[in-house]
């Protein structure tokens, strides 16, 4: 494609021009084989973004799972994504938690840091400030466990980088609405 970047495609929708936002979608599905593949296939097939995706069974007896997806796009694209998800037959309900009202998002991360001397002490001090737990230690390394909003985890990881960050494993976001009512 050699069209100048500024020129919109003649078929580009007038819809796609406002700001990109990040939304958290909570999707309740029948826990049946292939349902995750349907969801993921929808995103790849239609060119939508997945920033984070988590899935686990939430009601064992009823065979229900919750998929939490963090995605980015214009509000119009995100509305499309919700509607496209609703078309998938074994999906019960799609809620855009970002639109729905106040919601809580949490992620768990395990962060491995390697270092000695002053760096090691500093890593410990920061971990304390972030309320991270040490879940593995050697004389030259720590593994921290940290739960929080994704941006808090981002911050922690950035701080560990100069102190000997080795690797990070994150769960992706789980989310729920505030208040007494279900999503």
Least separation in angstroms between CB 9 and another protein? 7
Q: What is the dihedral of CA 118, 124, 126, 129, to 10 degrees?
A: -140
Tokens of 56: 């686990």
Kindly tell me which of 89 and 118 has the beta carbon lying closer to another protein. 89
SS3 46: helix
Footprint of another protein on this chain (CB under 8 A)? 1, 3, 7-15, 30, 33-34, 37-38, 41, 45, 76, 79-80, 83-84, 86-87, 89-92
Tokens of 7: 């020129």
Least separation in angstroms between CB 19 and another protein? 16
Scored b (16 or more CB within 10 A) or e, 124-137 reads bebbeebebeeeee
Least separation in angstroms between CB 76 and another protein? 6
CA proximity to 71, closest of 93, 46, 101: 46
Least separation in angstroms between CB 71 and another protein? 15
Kindly tell me which of 36 and 124 has the beta carbon lying closer to another protein. 36
CA proximity to 111, closest of 67, 147, 85: 147
Least separation in angstroms between CB 86 and another protein? 7
Kindly tell me which of 58 and 104 has the beta carbon lying closer to another protein. 58
Instruction: Note whether 36 and 108 are within 8 A (CB).
Output: no
Kindly tell me which of 76 and 145 has the beta carbon lying closer to another protein. 76
SS3 182: coil
Kindly tell me which of 76 and 155 has the beta carbon lying closer to another protein. 76
């Amino acid at each position: 494609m050699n069209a100048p970047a500024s020129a919109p495609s003649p078929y580009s929708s007038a819809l796609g021009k406002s700001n990109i936002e990040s939304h958290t979608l909570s999707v309740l599905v029948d826990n049946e084989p292939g349902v995750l593949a349907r969801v993921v296939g929808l995103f790849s097939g239609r060119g939508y973004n997945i920033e984070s995706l988590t899935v686990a069974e939430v009601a064992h007896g009823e065979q229900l799972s919750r998929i939490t997806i963090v995605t980015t796009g214009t509000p119009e694209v995100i509305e499309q994504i919700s509607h496209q998800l609703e078309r998938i037959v074994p999906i019960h309900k799609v809620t855009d938690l970002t639109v729905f009202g106040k919601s809580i998002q949490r992620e768990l991360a395990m962060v491995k840091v390697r270092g000695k001397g002053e760096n090691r002490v500093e890593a410990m001090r920061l971990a304390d400030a972030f309320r991270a737990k040490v879940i593995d230690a050697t004389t030259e390394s720590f593994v921290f466990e940290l739960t929080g909003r994704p941006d808090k985890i981002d911050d922690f990881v950035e701080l560990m980088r100069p102190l000997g960050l080795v690797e990070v494993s994150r769960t992706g976001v789980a989310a729920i609405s505030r208040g007494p009512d279900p999503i």
